[in-house]
Structure 1
């Protein structure tokens, strides 16, 4: 099944649902994640895509979990066009299962802060944050939306990691009652949420995003809106890395030249960029010329 996100509305309710198995596997492959890191990264990237679905084109969002657990920072960038990238600071963490027999993502994340930054194209991005509640990602994003954005929501996220360390299924949803939602609607929603299976189970059983929405909004008159293809995609390039290297001072660039080469690895996607001594010398000349013209 292709990765995709579907938007829908019903009586006083807005819902976004996504299937993200392939892009989660791409993140796992690039960062060589162990199972706990795979689940944390997959949930965070899926959550970021769901939050980004509410943005305008050319905007983007960064979701960052800064906890004191062994995984370190878990970060994802997403756009409303359906692109996401992300990384786990320490992807090779191995933890025992939690008391429920599940991957201990909460133990991997630990206590700390979850922040969401929205880049709107204006001078300063907008950042909101709140304390991490459980570290299980979905509950924390639910809390963030309520505390920081005053938006009552229910967030579901799941990554089923198989014995081969790949994601067998991944996906998520955000469901939000709109201001005009009746008490009857909210009660019906709550009953539906109690009945549904974990989102990774639904995806593993073959449900697409529309199928997940149908379960969430059972008994509602659903209007399906748009479908967006999703993919893991990083914005890095050799040109961007060159621009970054030219921001180094002359001493640091000269040190790289003296080493005879440089390798720069993008922490978001793991892509490695090689620079020869000749390329570094050329960058130094350009940097000196630019600085002399200021």
Structure 2
């Protein structure tokens, strides 16, 4: 089954909601970066969120980047997404290993530790919009919930989860984002809070075979849920030899001349997909 994201509204457009299933996406990034279970869980959660947040953007060339810089052993993560839910990402330390948490689960919060979450929206303007908050738990869903409230002033509930098999394959991955629109009735707010307080963990819902539609129906079915859009989400890296050539050219004529004198080709590795590009001496000469 393909990974996808659904977008819906409820309570006469007072609530907007997103839900996704991302098992294939997270499995692919695990295989690309050979991540440990805890790194897979952290990166998978952030990529799931990025896919849903990417579909919130309006411009076809808009780009969303979620970046976490932290002092935990995972050291940091970077994920990007576009409005079509094409997502890519990497983790600085893919080999991080830690004992399970007190609840017997992957301890993503301890892997991240203290740090800063940056949400960068490049909408083709002179400068991108950058919002930042400190990590409140390192569990990523709570950190994004806090970001939406404090930086975007949008009351939100974010749930993200990655469930791993014992053989280090991804069993389930997905999440949801529920947001209140301005001037939402207090009665709607109270009813939604009550509903969310009793919802099962997202990995449990996915393990029970619930689809994104089922999950939103369980939360918002009593609010007149309407599904508006279904978008496929997938891992997609847009690196190319042309982009690499442009990046190398930007280092300047003097440095390129020095490299040519050494007589060795340049090898460039893409952080996101791991692909290697080699620029031979004659190609560097053409740049000059």
Q: Same fold (TM over 0.5)?
A: yes
Q: Residue 6 of structure 1 corresponds to which residue in structure 2? A: 6
Q: Residue 158 of structure 2 corresponds to which residue in structure 1? A: 155
CA contact (8 A) 2:269 2:275 kept: yes
TM-score of the superposition, structure 2-length normalised?
0.94
3-state secondary structure, aligned to 2:221: coil
Q: CA deviation digits over 1:233-263, x for unaligned, max 9?
A: 0111111111111223445435544353332
Find the aligned partners of 1:164 and 1:280 in 2 and give their Cα distance. Answer: 44
Q: Residue 292 of structure 1 corresponds to which residue in structure 2? A: none
Instruction: Give RMSD over aligned pairs.
Output: 1.5
Find the aligned partners of 1:7 and 1:126 in 2 and give their Cα distance. Answer: 24
Say which of 174, 178, 187 aligns to 1:171. Answer: 174
Find the aligned partners of 1:249 and 1:273 in 2 and give their Cα distance. Answer: 19
Q: Residue 291 of structure 1 corresponds to which residue in structure 2? A: none
Unaligned 5+ residue runs, structure 2?
none
Q: CA deviation digits over 1:80-118, x for unaligned, max 9?
A: 111000110000011111111111101111101101000
What number of residue pairs does the alignment pair up? Answer: 284
Q: Is it true that 1:268 corresponds to 2:269 in the alignment?
A: no
Most deviating of 192-201 and 73-82: 192-201
Say which of 120, 134, 137 aligns to 1:134. Answer: 137
TM-score of the superposition, structure 1-length normalised?
0.92
Most deviating of 105-114 and 185-194: 185-194
Give the alignment of 1:200-211 within 5 angstroms. Answer: 200-211=203-214
Find the aligned partners of 2:127 and 2:172 in 1 and give their Cα distance. Answer: 37
Q: Residue 19 of structure 1 corresponds to which residue in structure 2? A: 21
Say which of 225, 228, 245 aligns to 1:225. Answer: 228
Say which of 79, 92, 96 aligns to 2:95. Answer: 92
Say which of 27, 51, 54 aligns to 1:52. Answer: 54
3-state secondary structure, aligned to 1:219: helix
3-state secondary structure, aligned to 1:226: strand
Find the aligned partners of 1:86 and 1:188 in 2 and give their Cα distance. Answer: 36
Find the aligned partners of 1:68 and 1:280 in 2 and give their Cα distance. Answer: 40
Find the aligned partners of 1:256 and 1:2 in 2 and give their Cα distance. Answer: 45
Cα distance change, pair 259–96 in 1 and its aligned pair in 2 (3 A): farther
Find the aligned partners of 2:167 and 2:225 in 1 and give their Cα distance. Answer: 38
Q: Residue 32 of structure 2 corresponds to which residue in structure 1? A: 30
Find the aligned partners of 1:280 and 1:151 in 2 and give their Cα distance. Answer: 52
Structure 1 residue 201, shift from structure 2 partner = 2.3
Find the aligned partners of 2:248 and 2:34 in 1 and give their Cα distance. Answer: 26
Q: Residue 39 of structure 1 corresponds to which residue in structure 2? A: 41
Most deviating of 187-196 and 27-36: 187-196
3-state secondary structure, aligned to 1:267: coil
CA contact (8 A) 2:51 2:87 kept: yes
Cα distance change, pair 251–210 in 1 and its aligned pair in 2 (3 A): same
Structure 1 residue 165, shift from structure 2 partner = 1.3
3-state secondary structure, aligned to 1:48: helix
Most deviating of 192-201 and 55-64: 192-201
Find the aligned partners of 2:103 and 2:209 in 1 and give their Cα distance. Answer: 25
CA contact (8 A) 2:237 2:273 kept: yes
Cα distance change, pair 186–249 in 1 and its aligned pair in 2 (3 A): same
